[in-house]
Amino acid sequence: MVRSSFRGGAWLIAAGTAVLIHAVAASEEAPAPLGFSFHEVSKQAGLDAVTVFGGQDVNRYLLETTGCGAAFVDYDDDGWLDVFLVNGTTLEGFPRGQEPINHLYRNRGDGTFEDVTRKAGLAASGWGQGVCAGDYDNDGHVDLFVTYYGQNHLYRNRGDGTFEDVTAKAGLLDKRVRWGTGCAFLDYDRDGKLDLFVANYIDLDLATAPTPDSGLCRYKGVKVACGPPGLPGGKNALYHNRGDGTFEDVSDKAGITRKSGTYGLGVSTLDFDDDGWVDLYVANDSNPSALYRNNHDGTFTDIAVPAGCA
C-alpha cells in the first residue's frame, strides 16, 4: 500500500492527471466518480523543502519564471524510490550560507523520507532547472544530471550513499553560459552505454536582455518579461558516452540542432516507430516542437511537422 504507492508514484501521478483532465472536460455532462483520490501528505512524509525561484517583488527576466525539476530515483538500491528536488535562487541573491540548495530525500520505507542532502554531497545551489537519472558508467548505481542556467552538473553515484561531482572529469564543462532545461539519458547508438541529451532554452545575457521597463515587451497591454521571441534560442546538445567516463559533444553531426536555436524546454525518449532505436521528442517554446527520428547511423531527422506532432 504505502510501499507500492511510492514505488509507482510517478506513474500514479501521470495516470491521475490524465484521468482528472478527462473528468474536467466531461464535467458539463455528468461527473462520474473516479474511484480514487489524492491527499497532500508532503509534510507528514517529511518532504518539507522550500523551493525558491523568481524575483522578490517583480520578475524582470524569463529566468525568474522557470524552475524547478524533480525526480524519483532509487539512489541507494534498497528497492524504494527516493526523491530528488532541484532548487533555484533569485537575482537578488542570499546571505552566504543561506542559499537555497537541491534536496535528496531518502525513502525510509514507512511512508516518510529523511533529508540526506548534505551527507550525500548534493547540497548545491544555483539557478536549478531540471534533472534526469541514469547509470551512465554501468556500475549498477543510478547517477544524476542536473541542468542549470549556468553550468550543468553530473553527479556520479559512488554506491555508498554519496555522490561525486564529475562534471569536469566527464568533459561536460561549458565554455559559456547556457540555459539548460530538460534532459534525458538514452542509448541512441545501441552500444550499451547511456548517452545524454540536454535541451537548452535561451542564450540569455542578463547584461543586455531587455526588461519590462524597457517598454519593448507587453502582453495585452501589460508589461511582461521579454522573450523568448526576440532573444536568441538555445541549441540542444547531445553528448555521446565514450565508455571511459567521458562524453563527446556530437550535437551538430547528429542533426539535433537548428541554426537559430529552438527554445527547448522538455524532452522525452521513446521508440515511436518500433524499429528498435530510441527517438527523441523535444517540446519547444514559441516555435514547433521536434520529433527526432533515429536514423540508426548516429544521426536524427526532425519529422515532427509531417508526423503532425509539431
pLDDT tens digit sequence for 251-287: 999 999 988 889 999 999 999 999 999 999 999 999 9
Q: DSSP assignment of 219-257, as one string?
A: ETTEE--B-STTSPBPPPEEEEE-SSS-EEE-HHHHT--
**Beta pairing class for 103-107 and 300-302:** unpaired
Query: Among all chains, which residue has been given the C-alpha cell 462520474?
Result: 32
Cβ neighbour number for residue 106 with a 10 Å cutoff: 21
Enumerate residue ranges in the chain where pLDDT < 70: 1-28
CB under 8 Å to 99, separation ≥6 — which residues? Answer: 89, 93, 125
**Grid cell digits, residue 186:** 538514452
Q: How far is C-alpha 59 from the geometric centre of its chain's CA atoms?
A: 22
Exposure on the CB side of residue 307, measured as CA atoms within 13 A: 15
Q: How far is CA 130 from CA 109, 126, 141, 151, 171, in A?
A: 26, 12, 20, 12, 20
* Structural domains in the chain (count): 1
pLDDT score at 57 = 80
**Category of 98 on φ-ψ map: left (φ > 0), alpha (ψ -120 to 50) or beta:** alpha
Give the SS3 label for residue 75. coil
pLDDT score at 54 = 85
Segment 189-241, tens digit of pLDDT: 999 999 999 999 999 999 999 999 998 999 899 999 999 999 999 999 999 99
Cβ neighbour number for residue 155 with a 10 Å cutoff: 25
User: What is this structure's pTM?
Assistant: 0.88
Query: Among all chains, which residue has been given the C-alpha cell 553531426?
Result: 253
Nearest to 77 by CA among 129, 125, 142, 131: 142
Query: Domain containing 84: what range?
Result: 2-307
At 246, which CATH number?
2.120.10
pLDDT score at 28 = 62
- Sequence length of the chain is 310
Give the SS3 label for residue 250. coil
- For residues 246 and 3, what is the distance between their CA atoms, to the nearest angstrom? 36
Nearest to 183 by CA among 142, 227, 134: 134
Helix (H) or strand (E) run with residue 22 in it:
helix 9-25
